[in-house]
Amino acid sequence: MSKEPPTAGTPFNLDKLKELIEMMEKNGLTEIDLRSGAERWQLRRGPQEVTQVVSAGPFAGMHMPPPMPMTPAAVQLAPAGSSVMPAAAPADDGVVIKSPTVGTFYVAAAPTDPPFVSVGSKVKEDTVVCIIEAMKVFNQIPAEMNGTITAVLVKNGDPVEFGQPLFKINLG
Amino acid sequence: MSKEPPTAGTPFNLDKLKELIEMMEKNGLTEIDLRSGAERWQLRRGPQEVTQVVSAGPFAGMHMPPPMPMTPAAVQLAPAGSSVMPAAAPADDGVVIKSPTVGTFYVAAAPTDPPFVSVGSKVKEDTVVCIIEAMKVFNQIPAEMNGTITAVLVKNGDPVEFGQPLFKINLG
Amino acid sequence: MFQRVLVANRGEIALRVIRACKDLGIESVAVFSEADRGAHYLSLADEAFCIGPAPSSESYLLINRIIAAAEVGNAQAIHPGYGFLSENAHFAEVCQSCHITFIGPSHEAMGKLGDKISAKAIAQAAEVPLVPGSDGLIDSEAEALRIAKKIGYPILIKATAGGGGKGMRVAIDDSSLKNGLKQAAAEAEKAFKNAGVYLEKYVERPRHVEVQFIADHHGNVIHLWERDCSLQRRHQKLVEESPAPTLPKSVREELCKAAVRLAKAASYTNAGTCEFIVDKDNNFYFIEVNARIQVEHPVTEMVTGIDLIQQQIRVAAGEELPFKQKNIPCEGCAIEVRINAEDPAHNFRPSPGKITKLRVPGGPGVRFDSHVHQDYVVGPNYDSMIGKLIVHRPTRDQAIATMRRALAEFEIEGVKTTIPLLQEIFAHPAFHSGDVDTTFIERTTWASGTAKPHS
Amino acid sequence: MFQRVLVANRGEIALRVIRACKDLGIESVAVFSEADRGAHYLSLADEAFCIGPAPSSESYLLINRIIAAAEVGNAQAIHPGYGFLSENAHFAEVCQSCHITFIGPSHEAMGKLGDKISAKAIAQAAEVPLVPGSDGLIDSEAEALRIAKKIGYPILIKATAGGGGKGMRVAIDDSSLKNGLKQAAAEAEKAFKNAGVYLEKYVERPRHVEVQFIADHHGNVIHLWERDCSLQRRHQKLVEESPAPTLPKSVREELCKAAVRLAKAASYTNAGTCEFIVDKDNNFYFIEVNARIQVEHPVTEMVTGIDLIQQQIRVAAGEELPFKQKNIPCEGCAIEVRINAEDPAHNFRPSPGKITKLRVPGGPGVRFDSHVHQDYVVGPNYDSMIGKLIVHRPTRDQAIATMRRALAEFEIEGVKTTIPLLQEIFAHPAFHSGDVDTTFIERTTWASGTAKPHS
Query: What pLDDT, in 10s, does the model give residues B130-159?
Result: 999 988 888 899 999 999 999 999 999 999
Question: Strand, helix or coil at A6?
Answer: coil
Q: Which residues of A touch B (CB under 8 A)?
A: 1-2, 4-12, 14, 17-18, 21-22, 24-25, 38-49, 52, 59, 67-70
Tell me which of A77-86, C96-105, C388-397, C439-448 is least confident. A77-86
Question: Strand, helix or coil at C330?
Answer: coil
pLDDT tens string C199-249: 999 998 899 999 999 999 999 999 999 999 999 988 889 999 999 998 999
Closest CB to D394 among C305, C359, C360: C305
**Taking Cα atoms as reference points, which of D80, D65, D61 lies closest to residue D5?**
D80
Angle at D130 between CA D127 and CA D132, to 5 degrees: 125
Say yes or no to pLDDT of C116 above 50: yes
**Is the domain of A54 the same as that of A101?**
no
Domain with CATH 3.30.1490.20 in chain C: 132-201
CATH code, B125: 2.40.50.100
pLDDT tens string A46-80: 543 322 222 223 333 333 333 333 333 322 223 33
- Is B51 in contact with D35 (Cβ distance < 8 A)? yes
Tell me which of A34-43, C413-422, D184-193, D255-264 is least confident. A34-43
Residue C292 annotated among the catalytic residues of the structure: yes
Subunits in contact with chain A (3 or more CB pairs closer than 8 Å): B, C, D
- Is A72 in contact with D376 (Cβ distance < 8 A)? yes
**Taking Cα atoms as reference points, which of D60, D57, D68, D112 lies closest to residue D94?**
D68
- DSSP track, C135-199: SS----HHHHHHHHHHH-SSEEEEEEEEETTEEEEEE-SHHHHHHHHHHHHHHHHHHHS---EEE
Alpha-carbon C405 to chain mean position: 26
**Mutation site, D312, D405, D407, D426, interface C, largest C CB count within 10 A:** D405
**Regarding predicted confidence, which is higher, C15 or D447?**
C15
CA distances from C11 to B83, C18, C385 (A): 19, 11, 9
Say yes or no to pLDDT of B85 above 60: no
Angle at C352 between CA C351 and CA C357, to 5 degrees: 95
**Is the domain of B160 the same as that of B111?**
yes
Domain with CATH 3.40.50.20 in chain C: 4-103
Residues with Cβ within 8 Å of residue B110, at least 6 apart in sequence: none
Sheet containing strand B165-171, strands side by side = B95-98, B165-171, B147-152, B122-123
Angle at B142 between CA B136 and CA B147, to 5 degrees: 150
> With contacts defined as CB-CB under 8 Å, which chain C residues touch B104?
71-72
CB of C97 less than 8 A from some CB of B: no
Mean residue pLDDT across chain C: 93
Mean pLDDT by 10 residues, chain D (455 residues): 98 98 97 96 96 94 96 96 96 96 97 89 96 88 93 90 76 93 89 88 93 98 97 91 96 98 98 96 95 98 97 98 96 97 88 94 95 94 95 97 97 96 95 92 75 48
pLDDT tens string B65-84: 333 333 333 223 233 333 33
From B63, B86, B106, the end of a domain falls on B63
**Residue C342 contacts residue C235 (beta carbons within 8 Å):** no
In this structure, is residue A2 part of a structural domain? no
DSSP 3-state helix, strand, coil percentages of chain D (rounded to 5)?
A: 35, 25, 40
Closest CB to B50 among A10, A49, A59: A49
In this structure, is residue A41 part of a structural domain? yes
Domain count, chain B: 2
**Amino acid at position C153, single letter:** Y
Separation of alpha carbons D258 and D278, rounded Å: 13
Residues with Cβ within 8 Å of residue C182, at least 6 apart in sequence: none
The mean pLDDT value for C373-398 works out to: 95
Q: May I ask the CATH class of domain C132-201? A: alpha beta
**Residue D174 contacts residue D194 (beta carbons within 8 Å):** no
Separation of alpha carbons C95 and C107, rounded Å: 10
Residue D300 CB-half CA count within 13 A: 28
**Amino acid at position D387, single letter:** G
Alpha helices by DSSP H, listed for chain A, are 14-27
User: B58-72, B129-143, C25-39: which has the highest mean pLDDT?
Assistant: C25-39
> Least CA distance to C357: which residue of chain A?
A73
Question: Strand, helix or coil at D60?
Answer: coil
Closest CB to D357 among B48, B73, B81: B73
Alpha helices by DSSP H, listed for D86-227, are 89-97, 107-114, 116-125, 141-151, 174-192
> With contacts defined as CB-CB under 8 Å, which chain D residues touch B71?
356-357
Name beta bridge partners: D101.
Answer: D77
CA distances from D67 to A129, C329, D38, D47, D72 (A): 23, 46, 22, 15, 9
The mean pLDDT value for C127-131 works out to: 96
Residues with Cβ within 8 Å of residue D209, at least 6 apart in sequence: D226, D227, D228, D229, D230, D244, D247, D255, D275, D276, D277, D278, D284
Q: Which CATH superfamily is domain D207-448 in?
A: ATP-grasp fold, B domain (3.30.470.20)
Counts of helices then strands in chain B (DSSP H, E):
1, 10
Separation of alpha carbons D91 and D8, rounded Å: 11
Closest CB to C65 among B77, B88, B102: B102
Strands D270-278 and C155-163: unpaired
**Is the domain of A99 the same as that of A148?**
yes
**Is the domain of B151 the same as that of B99?**
yes
Residue C281 CB-half CA count within 13 A: 3
Backbone angles phi, psi at D59, to 5 degrees: -145, -85
**Residue D377 contacts residue D356 (beta carbons within 8 Å):** no
A9-40: buried (b, 16+ CB within 10 Å) or exposed (e) per residue?
A: ebebbbeebeebbeebbeebbbbbeeeeeeee
For B14: left if phi > 0, alpha if psi spans -120 to 50, otherwise beta; the answer is: alpha
Handedness of CA D66, D70, D75, D76 (dihedral sign): positive
Distance from CA of C407 to the nearest CA of A (A): 13
**Is the domain of B100 the same as that of B164?**
yes
**Amino acid at position D452, single letter:** K
Q: Dihedral (C-alpha) C56, C60, C62, C67: value to the nearest 10 degrees?
A: 170
> Least CA distance to A4: which residue of chain B?
B16
In this structure, is residue A53 part of a structural domain? yes
In this structure, is residue B69 part of a structural domain? no
- Is C411 in contact with A81 (Cβ distance < 8 A)? no
- Is C377 in contact with B74 (Cβ distance < 8 A)? yes
Strands B39-44 and B29-36: antiparallel
The DSSP letter of residue D3 is S
Residue B65 CB-half CA count within 13 A: 18
**Residue B147 contacts residue B123 (beta carbons within 8 Å):** yes
**Residue D396 contacts residue D333 (beta carbons within 8 Å):** yes
**Taking Cα atoms as reference points, which of C263, C265, C282, C264 lies closest to residue C273?**
C263
Mean residue pLDDT across chain A: 67
So what's the ipTM on this one? 0.73
**Is B66 exposed, middle or buried (CB count within 10 Å of its CB: 0-12, 13-18, 19+)?**
exposed
**Model pLDDT, residue C443:** 86
Residues with Cβ within 8 Å of residue C115, at least 6 apart in sequence: none
Separation of alpha carbons B6 and C382, rounded Å: 51
Q: Strands of D189-319 (E only): list them.
A: 197-201, 207-215, 221-233, 236-242, 270-278, 284-290
In this structure, is residue A3 part of a structural domain? no
Separation of alpha carbons D405 and C410, rounded Å: 25
**Residue C31 contacts residue C106 (beta carbons within 8 Å):** no
Range of the domain at B100: 95-171
Residues with Cβ within 8 Å of residue D367, at least 6 apart in sequence: C362, C363, C364, C366, C367, D298, D302, D389, D390, D391, D392
The mean pLDDT value for B40-56 works out to: 42
pTM reported for the whole predicted model? 0.81
- pLDDT > 70 fraction of chain B, expressed in percent and rounded: 47
In this structure, is residue B158 part of a structural domain? yes
Name beta bridge partners: C374.
Answer: none
Q: Does CATH place domain C4-103 in 3.10.105.10?
A: no
**Is the domain of A57 the same as that of A103?**
no
Domain with CATH 3.30.470.20 in chain D: 207-448
- pLDDT > 70 fraction of chain C, expressed in percent and rounded: 97
**Residue C34 contacts residue C50 (beta carbons within 8 Å):** yes
The active-site residue, picked from C10, C16, C169, C292, is: C292
In this structure, is residue B145 part of a structural domain? yes
Distance from CA of C446 to the nearest CA of A (A): 19
Name beta bridge partners: C359.
Answer: C411
**Amino acid at position C340, single letter:** N
In this structure, is residue B165 part of a structural domain? yes
**Mutation site, D1, D13, D23, interface C, largest C CB count within 10 A:** D23
CB of D1 less than 8 A from some CB of C: no
CB of C58 less than 8 A from some CB of B: no
Closest CB to C49 among B70, B74, B102: B102
The mean pLDDT value for B21-46 works out to: 62
Catalytic residues of D: 292
**Is the domain of B100 the same as that of B55?**
no
Name beta bridge partners: C377.
Answer: C354
> Least CA distance to B48: which residue of chain D?
D354
Separation of alpha carbons C387 and A13, rounded Å: 57
Is the preceding peptide bond at A115 cis, omega within 30 degrees of 0? no
**Taking Cα atoms as reference points, which of D395, D417, D397 lies closest to residue D407?**
D417
CB of C414 less than 8 A from some CB of D: no
Strands D27-33 and D349-350: unpaired
The mean pLDDT value for C137-155 works out to: 92
**Is the domain of B165 the same as that of B103?**
yes
